[in-house]
Structure 1
Amino acid sequence: MSLVKLVDPVAAEDLGRVHFIGIGGAGMSGIARILLKRGVRVTGSDARGSELVNELRELGATVHIGHAASHVKDADTVVVSTAIRDSNPELGEALKRGVRVIPRAAALASVMAGRTAVAIAGTHGKTTTTSMLTVALQKCGADPSYCVGGQLVTTGLGADEGNGDVFVAEADESDGSFLMLAPDIALVTNVEADHLDNYGDPRAVYDSFNRFVERVGSLLVICADDPGSAALAEVAAKRGLKVRTYGTESDDYRVTGVRPDGFGTRFTIEGRGEVRLAVPGAHNALNATAVVAVADALGLPFEEIRDGLAAFTGAKRRFEAKGEAGGVAVFDSYAHHPTELAADLRAARDVVASYSGDGRVIAVFQPHLYSRTRFFADEFGAALGLADRAIVLDVYGAREDPEPGVSGAMVAERVNLPESHVDYAPDKATVPALVADKARQGDIVLTMGAGDVTELGPQIVAELSTR
């Protein structure tokens, strides 16, 4: 099942003058940045100003705040994100004038064309793995172009133009748009049911990844530990693709001896050697091993990639440190699927064990989307049971309207912890004080969710500092 209309990519130099509707978004602004660095004339519009908008203006883009038909008068190509409604006046004007209109993913395919394209896909871990690969390649002098769904801590950017031949991109499956990419090398971290508001049923999710593999040029790297990812080997074999696996069950890149190392992680790749990461969690050991597999295919030496992985300090909102007060450390995570919550909470427990051994993990979770909450309420409850205490906010609806009977309470009542260790906090403003009342020296607080829960980290640190 494809949720998008496939568009043949147009070479970046043939796009002409490009106008982005919603240019301030993370994905859109990254592609605009790369085009600007290639000398393409870029204009755009967004509902509000931002730091990203200001950066694009400094690079030479003309950016309008607010939408109006007149903004597309000089455009040869108009790029739209999935957030743009059909009623948008700029989109309407472009269609009326017969201007080429393409989705964000098609624009990404255009800037990847002509490079050795590496796409990282999967239900979880895309941003971290894409960021890891980018930093590792940078550290060994490959200087890739890249486009990530988050921001690298090392550069503060989510996308940039490099001088090397490699282009590394995160491939987003949420709306099926990764089917517009045709990478030379693809890495699939895992495949699970998600985005069912778009796909309708889990089978359609798996089918979309099958179709993605059919668009890969030469190599598919998959996780042997994940059944959904491992199943793609059969599709790849039918196409004659080279396949490499990684994981604790892999015959190609086998991971052993994973253990916490302070805030980081140590592990061994059999036949290669030991790797030390500055980020926590067994899932990051897998992500890093996937990077080694891709780097091998690119002909890069393991020793240099290992040093690059050691230099990786994370991506924004991926177990990102927000501060510490009163002996309590606060982190923030974009985790919004049960598997992601479980991985981050296990990583938090590893960090606690490395430092004090008797600290607790306090999870502050904001469910994202009413549909996802309805689909996965039981699984969210089970994942939050890995914490010592859980605070559940109300649902962040994002693009969805509220559903009767669907709220954060659905998740809170399913958390497998003593009732006294679970709080439902529909008023977000009460959470910093609630956390400060419960936290004690040696604890870790982890805010989780794809919504505005990220705002709470600094507020929690500030509240803790007053106690």
Structure 2
Amino acid sequence: MSLVKLVDPVSVEELGRVHFIGIGGAGMSGIARILLKRGVRVTGSDARSSELITELRELGATVHIGHAASHIRDVDTVVVSTAIRDSNPELGEALKQGLRIIPRAAALASVMAGRTAVAIAGTHGKTTTTSMLTVALQKCGADPSYCVGGQLVTTGLGADDGQGRMFVAEADESDGSFLMLAPDIAVVTNVEADHLDNYGDPRAVHDSFARFADRVGSLLIACADDPGAAEVARRARERGLRVKTYGLQGDDYRVSGVRPDGFGTVFAIEGRGEVRLAVPGAHNALNATAVIAVADELGLPFEEIREGLGAFTGAKRRFEAKGEAGGIAVFDSYAHHPTELTADLKAARDVVASYSGTGRVIAIFQPHLYSRTRFFADEFGAALGLADEAIVLDVYGAREDPEPGVSGAMVAGRVPLPPERVAYAPDRSAVPGLVAERARPGDIVLTMGAGDVTELGPQIVARLS
């Protein structure tokens, strides 16, 4: 998408009639939904149909399946997802007509304008933290607008236009376009090397987050436990921005006593009291603490936010339960970075230990992007070593073309488990059978990856049945 440059956001009124190329994506469909609810005429296109597209049509959008130049008709602004290539015929036609062409983040900035904007950024955890904050605010009666890179379990939606004064958004750093946002309040959960196909080196990733902090209007909330986020906080404080930190080492919101509680997690915040979550993992205790810090800034009562956090049951594809058969529970996760795999596998171990203490964790991982697999093959292998059994699929290329020598076998060969407990499965259809051969009552099966590995969960449950 190199033909589309970062631009200054405009008001919703200035957008006029809007066409989305790649409207079916989680982020794109969410913005389209909000515009439709605000009375904007929306058209769009995508390679295939989906439930999200059906919902948009029901709200009044005209959505084409497939891309063609003829779809660019009576349009003022074209929004383009990062998955769209420069050769796309609709993009070419928009350029030919001289239309305003903007990336997704610029459209997001437009719908956030005029609200008290809270943006959640970070290499990991931003979808869950954004979802947690949204649910907690809803439970408080704040009725925020929100745009999340996933779907809330409670509403089934990834975005909606609320009647309250707040707008909660996930700030995606993958292509650097989060630098178009100018939130009043921002959270940085962590900063690590990722998306190196775009940034080139880790230093550029860190610098991008520092520049994001420069755009925050009132308060930056950062995780003190993460070196990258702590560095962003230090630099922001030196520039005069108000900063608060949270975590086990947090100056303002110090976490302690984190422990598993069945499928959930219990922890305490010094000076506040205990918080009980319905989702597993120490990382979610940190995410919830960031929510509490935001709520404080918004002037919301701790007791109400604590109740709202307890009602949060997750976001889709974030350790999402897919079913159980024969005493074997199957979950699905969007984890596609080594740190995310590590966090989810540790959470899975907590759940197993809390329930039976004898079950095992069977990890099924689909690497996402050839470049990421090449960069992090060693780290992926090490993370999968936290499981008792590992099954590695081939790479889900998404927007990238295959690279010679880069495959799931690179990752499988680096898993530090006995060979009989590691399988490379280039044929995805073989995975349910492999799981059936290996799993036993009390085990947890966790599918992980940002690609179509998510489709395996129901198939595995059916096979186990």
Alpha-carbon shift at residue 403 of structure 1 (Å):
1.6
Equivalent residue, structure 1, for 2:50: 50
Worse-matched range after superposition: 363-372 or 304-313: 363-372
SS in 1 for 2:169: strand
How do residues 386-405 of structure 1 correspond to structure 2 at under 5 angstroms? Answer: 386-405=386-405
Equivalent residue, structure 2, for 1:335: 335
Contact 1:4/1:177 (<8 A) preserved: no
Contact 2:183/2:215 (<8 A) preserved: yes
Equivalent residue, structure 1, for 2:453: 453
Alpha-carbon shift at residue 4 of structure 1 (Å):
7.4
Worse-matched range after superposition: 61-70 or 450-459: 61-70
Indicate yes or no: 2:113 matched with 1:113.
yes
Equivalent residue, structure 1, for 2:88: 88
Once residues 365 and 51 of structure 2 are traced to their aligned partners in structure 1, the CA distance between those partners, rounded to angstroms, is: 27
Indicate yes or no: 2:17 matched with 1:22.
no
Once residues 360 and 298 of structure 2 are traced to their aligned partners in structure 1, the CA distance between those partners, rounded to angstroms, is: 42
Once residues 65 and 369 of structure 1 are traced to their aligned partners in structure 2, the CA distance between those partners, rounded to angstroms, is: 25
Once residues 406 and 171 of structure 2 are traced to their aligned partners in structure 1, the CA distance between those partners, rounded to angstroms, is: 30
Q: Deviations over 1:372-411 (max 9, x none)?
A: 1111111111111111111111111111122222111111
SS in 2 for 1:231: helix
Alpha-carbon shift at residue 3 of structure 1 (Å):
11
Equivalent residue, structure 1, for 2:293: 293
Contact 1:4/1:175 (<8 A) preserved: no
Equivalent residue, structure 2, for 1:155: 155
Indicate yes or no: 2:277 matched with 1:314.
no
Contact 2:3/2:86 (<8 A) preserved: no
Equivalent residue, structure 2, for 1:226: 226
SS in 2 for 1:220: strand
Equivalent residue, structure 2, for 1:407: 407
Gap regions ≥5 residues in structure 2: none
Once residues 65 and 390 of structure 2 are traced to their aligned partners in structure 1, the CA distance between those partners, rounded to angstroms, is: 40
SS in 1 for 2:312: coil
Contact 2:130/2:168 (<8 A) preserved: yes
Equivalent residue, structure 2, for 1:416: 416
Equivalent residue, structure 2, for 1:266: 266
Worse-matched range after superposition: 102-111 or 397-406: 397-406
Rate the CA distance shift 1:363–1:34 in 2: closer, same or farther, 3 A.
same
SS in 2 for 1:285: helix
Worse-matched range after superposition: 117-126 or 72-81: 72-81
Paired letter, 1:74: D
Once residues 121 and 3 of structure 1 are traced to their aligned partners in structure 2, the CA distance between those partners, rounded to angstroms, is: 25
Alpha-carbon shift at residue 254 of structure 1 (Å):
0.6
Once residues 376 and 240 of structure 2 are traced to their aligned partners in structure 1, the CA distance between those partners, rounded to angstroms, is: 37
TM-score in terms of structure 1 length: 0.97
Worse-matched range after superposition: 124-133 or 85-94: 85-94
Contact 1:366/1:394 (<8 A) preserved: yes
TM-score in terms of structure 2 length: 0.98
Worse-matched range after superposition: 409-418 or 164-173: 409-418
Equivalent residue, structure 2, for 1:202: 202
Contact 2:22/2:80 (<8 A) preserved: yes
Q: Deviations over 1:173-192 (max 9, x none)?
A: 01111011111101000000
Contact 2:4/2:102 (<8 A) preserved: no
Alpha-carbon shift at residue 298 of structure 1 (Å):
0.6
SS in 2 for 1:163: coil
Once residues 68 and 413 of structure 2 are traced to their aligned partners in structure 1, the CA distance between those partners, rounded to angstroms, is: 47
Contact 1:3/1:177 (<8 A) preserved: no
Alpha-carbon shift at residue 419 of structure 1 (Å):
1.8
Indicate yes or no: 2:203 matched with 1:175.
no
Once residues 290 and 306 of structure 1 are traced to their aligned partners in structure 2, the CA distance between those partners, rounded to angstroms, is: 12
Once residues 99 and 177 of structure 1 are traced to their aligned partners in structure 2, the CA distance between those partners, rounded to angstroms, is: 20
Paired letter, 2:205: V
Contact 1:3/1:198 (<8 A) preserved: no
Once residues 384 and 361 of structure 1 are traced to their aligned partners in structure 2, the CA distance between those partners, rounded to angstroms, is: 10
SS in 2 for 1:172: coil
How do residues 65-104 of structure 1 correspond to structure 2 at under 5 angstroms? Answer: 65-104=65-104
Equivalent residue, structure 2, for 1:8: 8
Worse-matched range after superposition: 366-375 or 138-147: 366-375
Alpha-carbon shift at residue 72 of structure 1 (Å):
2.0
Alpha-carbon shift at residue 87 of structure 1 (Å):
2.1
Paired letter, 1:408: G
Worse-matched range after superposition: 341-350 or 391-400: 391-400
Q: Deviations over 1:402-444 (max 9, x none)?
A: 2222111111111111222111111111110111111111000
Consecutive aligned runs of 4 or more in structure 1 exceeding 3 Å deviation:
2-5
Alpha-carbon shift at residue 70 of structure 1 (Å):
2.7
Once residues 453 and 51 of structure 2 are traced to their aligned partners in structure 1, the CA distance between those partners, rounded to angstroms, is: 20
Once residues 114 and 28 of structure 1 are traced to their aligned partners in structure 2, the CA distance between those partners, rounded to angstroms, is: 20
SS in 2 for 1:79: strand
Once residues 145 and 195 of structure 1 are traced to their aligned partners in structure 2, the CA distance between those partners, rounded to angstroms, is: 28
Rate the CA distance shift 1:4–1:269 in 2: closer, same or farther, 3 A.
farther
Once residues 370 and 70 of structure 2 are traced to their aligned partners in structure 1, the CA distance between those partners, rounded to angstroms, is: 36
Once residues 30 and 165 of structure 1 are traced to their aligned partners in structure 2, the CA distance between those partners, rounded to angstroms, is: 18
Q: Deviations over 1:180-237 (max 9, x none)?
A: 1111101000000001111111111111111111111110000000000000122212
Paired letter, 2:398: A
Once residues 251 and 200 of structure 2 are traced to their aligned partners in structure 1, the CA distance between those partners, rounded to angstroms, is: 35
Once residues 454 and 389 of structure 1 are traced to their aligned partners in structure 2, the CA distance between those partners, rounded to angstroms, is: 18
Paired letter, 1:89: P
Equivalent residue, structure 1, for 2:251: 251
Alpha-carbon shift at residue 103 of structure 1 (Å):
0.9
Once residues 49 and 139 of structure 1 are traced to their aligned partners in structure 2, the CA distance between those partners, rounded to angstroms, is: 33
Equivalent residue, structure 2, for 1:33: 33
Worse-matched range after superposition: 38-47 or 435-444: 38-47
Worse-matched range after superposition: 439-448 or 368-377: 368-377
Worse-matched range after superposition: 18-27 or 171-180: 18-27
Once residues 7 and 182 of structure 2 are traced to their aligned partners in structure 1, the CA distance between those partners, rounded to angstroms, is: 11
Once residues 17 and 404 of structure 1 are traced to their aligned partners in structure 2, the CA distance between those partners, rounded to angstroms, is: 43
Alpha-carbon shift at residue 119 of structure 1 (Å):
0.4
SS in 1 for 2:204: helix
Alpha-carbon shift at residue 91 of structure 1 (Å):
1.7
Worse-matched range after superposition: 346-355 or 236-245: 236-245
Alpha-carbon shift at residue 88 of structure 1 (Å):
2.0
Paired letter, 2:26: A
Aligned-pair identity (%): 87
Once residues 319 and 271 of structure 2 are traced to their aligned partners in structure 1, the CA distance between those partners, rounded to angstroms, is: 30
Contact 2:253/2:293 (<8 A) preserved: yes
Once residues 57 and 366 of structure 2 are traced to their aligned partners in structure 1, the CA distance between those partners, rounded to angstroms, is: 34
Equivalent residue, structure 1, for 2:126: 126
Once residues 140 and 266 of structure 1 are traced to their aligned partners in structure 2, the CA distance between those partners, rounded to angstroms, is: 21
Once residues 61 and 208 of structure 1 are traced to their aligned partners in structure 2, the CA distance between those partners, rounded to angstroms, is: 35
SS in 1 for 2:254: strand
